[in-house]
Structure 1
Amino acid sequence: MATRSLFTALGLGMAMTEAVRAGLDRSLPGGGSIPLRAHQANTQWLEAAFGLAPGTVRSVSVVDEHSGTAARARLAVDTDAADVPGHLFLKFAPHHYSQHVLMNVFGLGAREVFAYHALGERPPVLTPRCYAASVNRFRGRAVVLLEDLSSTARFRTVRDSVTPTEAEAVVDALADLHIAFWETARFSGDLKPLVARAPAADRLGDLIRRRLLGTMKGEAANLVPEPMKRQCRMFFERSRDIDAFWAALPQTLIHGDPHLGNLFFKGDSPGLLDWQNAMSGTGIRDVAYFAAASVEPEVLRKIERGLVERYAARLDAANIRADLDDLWVWYGAAMTEFFLAAVCTAEAGDTMQPFEISRVGVERCVASVAAHDSFTLLANLVDSNRT
């Protein structure tokens, strides 16, 4: 209890530190190597990012810009440099102060930078090409400069759904990502920042989950059954035990947030966007999260066993042995992952997402958790891991 109280105090201290850091970063000059606003990605910055001689880029203009959990902008570039496309996509610190603090506390911008470095020049899964990715920990800024997919890819929203064939393609892509990083020694080296958050950050996460889930008062309250409201308290009451259970399973690089809003399609091939939640983890968590978030519940119930079998077969073809029965149980327990994300988003209100959008996620996650009795599964697995 004393240790938990200490980490809780440290978590609050971390939040205060990052609040001050974000405030100073917005008010003090400097930090120009990483833009805080889209207009700061000027000709000189772009030339430095691409390693070009001064004067190579004639102009850079912001085509459009918006901000949520991160800020995003499309840039139009006038240059004769062969390696620089005419349009680019910039992702950087959010405009809203509280979102900026949240990004710093949980290292979301830094995680995305590390993820793109990990994926490298030949990523095992389709992603936008990354031209630059850097982080300034002192200022609390991070930026990624990416291929602009707006004219070459098809996008969906979180309210959309995928067909069974598309779901199979996404599961194949997730398996390929997981295979490439399965039990990699890099988690002790260059990918160590993706292994775990600081204990203080985890305890701060507990406080946020307690506030949002302890007594649901927002839009999700009428959509979550009362027994499920009680069960989901384990997210903050037993968070360390839950983390320990998942950490005891084989680890790989997982995307962490593969809902339809973070996917795109080129032809029949799916790709992944938004790597802010990338981490070492159990691959089946990605599969369950995607399925619960992106497939209509009545369709998912018919195909989900086949999706898990397909995932297991793809691992097996790469000489990674995974027991199908274990994967199926873990898949059912991992449905709680999307529940946590969807319900917390809805309970946070319009500052995170309009309810007409978040409602779909809550309805889908509730259906999946109910179908698998996921919280009971997770509690049993956590208890078994402790014995």
Structure 2
Amino acid sequence: MPQGLEKRLPSRPQVAVPATLAEALAPQWLAGALADIAKGRAIAAVEQVEVIRTVATKVRFAVTFDDGERLGLCLKGLLDVDAATARGGPTCVLEAEFYNKVAPAVAVRVPECVATVIDRDAQRAVTIMRDLIVDGARFCSALDPFTADDAVLSLEQLSLLHARSDLLGAAGWIRPRAAELAQMRYVTAEALQDLLDGPRGDGLAPRVRSAANLAVAIGELARRDGARPQFLVHGDAHAGNVFRTPAGPGVIDWQLLQRGGWALDVAYHLNAVLPTAVAEAEERRLLGEYLAMMRAHGPAMPDAEAAWAQYREGVTYGYYLWSITRRVDPPVIVQFVDRLGKAVMRHDSFGLLGAG
């Protein structure tokens, strides 16, 4: 395991999943949720440090026990949300299960998870982690530009995840999300075209800006991807889901954990974190670095030309993911659709997939 973060099995306290921020920070609820680390001590005080609301809520807070120890923590879950947002609860369950069942078995640098609270019947969950910022980590923003050297380090983390595809045999709960996304009616064809006709699609060729072409491309990518060797895939590896420590980068946000081809992660990651000009100049070399890492870990990988073809197709996944995104700050959406859409143009991904 990379140095810098110790891993432990999180506790799984049998308490109710909170629905609001007030419930989550109530000392009485926290006493039950943190019983494993409280070890009989009462919670004397709870201090809210920071709240970040996207689809899920992330709250940094500190608890002070009655013996004076102060512990910085971060809780993530769907708190104070409307009924439509609450339907995303299964992704929170998926992330909690990652920390319960996958994180202890992989060498990826992740936050230390101290507890997961899951209601599988209601498909709701929260995850409680150590506050990495207190321990000196820095979270990247979604729009932080990576250098090629930065990307080598983040690719190393992804390779450590992908190398443990042996875990998939006993993990039927990890789904082929690219295929499921291709079948979703989360956004209608008409609504997707309206989105692409807006600012997010400015600067892209009409062929790539076509919702009909994108639907064909993601469907064909999912079909081809499902027939290839399956890997543990993060599914949403943009810069906002990377943190930096003195020991190296780590990865957060496991709500799109899935099984699929390695290229879904690699093509999305490089074209999301690198400015377009840097990606164009460096991506083939970086792909070679990634393939060498994977071979060193043990898995058989395709040769350079076959891998390049998969990479060129795989860009479509990230482009589709951000094209349908609505509940994120518009500047972030515009940047990612632009970077990933231009990668689709550069690689003729739609042509490779028979779209348009």
SS across alignment from 1:236 = helix
Task: Kindly indicate whether residue 232 of structure 2 is the aligned counterpart of residue 270 of structure 1.
Answer: no
| C-alpha separation in 2, matches of 1:306 and 1:198 | 26
Offset of 1:248 from its aligned partner? 1.2
SS across alignment from 1:264 = strand
Offset of 1:299 from its aligned partner? 1.0
Note if contact 2:217-2:354 (Cα within 8 Å) is conserved in structure 1.
Answer: no
Note if contact 2:217-2:353 (Cα within 8 Å) is conserved in structure 1.
Answer: no
Aligned pair in 2 of structure 1 residues 60, 134: CA closer, same or farther (>3 Å)? same
2:29 counterpart residue number:
45
Note if contact 1:114-1:194 (Cα within 8 Å) is conserved in structure 2.
Answer: no
2:353 counterpart residue number:
378
Offset of 1:222 from its aligned partner? 2.9
Gaps of 5+ in 1: 1-30, 381-387
Offset of 1:59 from its aligned partner? 2.4
1:187 partner letter: L
2:81 counterpart residue number:
96
Task: Kindly indicate whether residue 104 of structure 2 is the aligned counterpart of residue 121 of structure 1.
Answer: yes
Note if contact 2:237-2:268 (Cα within 8 Å) is conserved in structure 1.
Answer: yes
1:365 counterpart residue number:
340
Offset of 1:276 from its aligned partner? 0.5
Note if contact 1:49-1:132 (Cα within 8 Å) is conserved in structure 2.
Answer: yes
What is the count of residue pairs matched by the alignment?
336
Q: Could you say what the CA RMSD is over the residues aligned between the two structures, in angstroms?
A: 2.7
2:305 to 315, 325, 344: 325
Note if contact 1:67-1:95 (Cα within 8 Å) is conserved in structure 2.
Answer: no
Offset of 1:214 from its aligned partner? 3.5
1:370 partner letter: M
1:164 to 148, 157, 160: 148
SS across alignment from 1:61 = strand
1:142 counterpart residue number:
125
| C-alpha separation in 2, matches of 1:210 and 1:295 | 29
Offset of 1:371 from its aligned partner? 1.2
Task: Kindly indicate whether residue 171 of structure 2 is the aligned counterpart of residue 187 of structure 1.
Answer: no
Offset of 1:264 from its aligned partner? 0.7
1:309 counterpart residue number:
288
Note if contact 2:41-2:65 (Cα within 8 Å) is conserved in structure 1.
Answer: no
Offset of 1:239 from its aligned partner? 5.2
The equivalences for 1:76-115 within 5 A come to: 76-79=62-65, 86-97=71-82, 100-104=85-89, 107-115=90-98
| C-alpha separation in 2, matches of 1:143 and 1:37 | 11
Gaps of 5+ in 2: 1-13
2:158 to 174, 178, 194: 174
| C-alpha separation in 2, matches of 1:343 and 1:287 | 18
1:120 partner letter: A
Structure 1 range deviating more: 315-324 or 364-373? 315-324
1:290 counterpart residue number:
269
Task: Kindly indicate whether residue 144 of structure 2 is the aligned counterpart of residue 132 of structure 1.
Answer: no
Offset of 1:209 from its aligned partner? 5.0
Per-residue CA distance 1:8-64 (angstroms, 9 max, x = gap): xxxxxxxxxxxxxxxxxxxxxxx9621112332333333333324554322223223
Note if contact 1:293-1:361 (Cα within 8 Å) is conserved in structure 2.
Answer: yes
SS across alignment from 2:237 = coil
| Greater share of helix | 1
- Identity of paired residues, percent? 25
SS across alignment from 2:104 = coil
1:8 counterpart residue number:
none
SS across alignment from 1:193 = coil
Note if contact 1:335-1:374 (Cα within 8 Å) is conserved in structure 2.
Answer: yes
Offset of 1:143 from its aligned partner? 0.4
| C-alpha separation in 1, matches of 2:129 and 2:67 | 16
Offset of 1:108 from its aligned partner? 1.1
Note if contact 2:106-2:160 (Cα within 8 Å) is conserved in structure 1.
Answer: no
Note if contact 2:41-2:66 (Cα within 8 Å) is conserved in structure 1.
Answer: no
1:90 partner letter: L
Note if contact 1:162-1:294 (Cα within 8 Å) is conserved in structure 2.
Answer: yes
| C-alpha separation in 2, matches of 1:368 and 1:92 | 33
TM-score, length of structure 2 as denominator length: 0.85
Note if contact 1:68-1:99 (Cα within 8 Å) is conserved in structure 2.
Answer: no
Offset of 1:85 from its aligned partner? 5.8
Structure 1 range deviating more: 282-291 or 40-49? 40-49
Aligned pair in 2 of structure 1 residues 279, 287: CA closer, same or farther (>3 Å)? same
Note if contact 1:112-1:274 (Cα within 8 Å) is conserved in structure 2.
Answer: yes
The equivalences for 1:60-71 within 5 A come to: 60-71=46-57
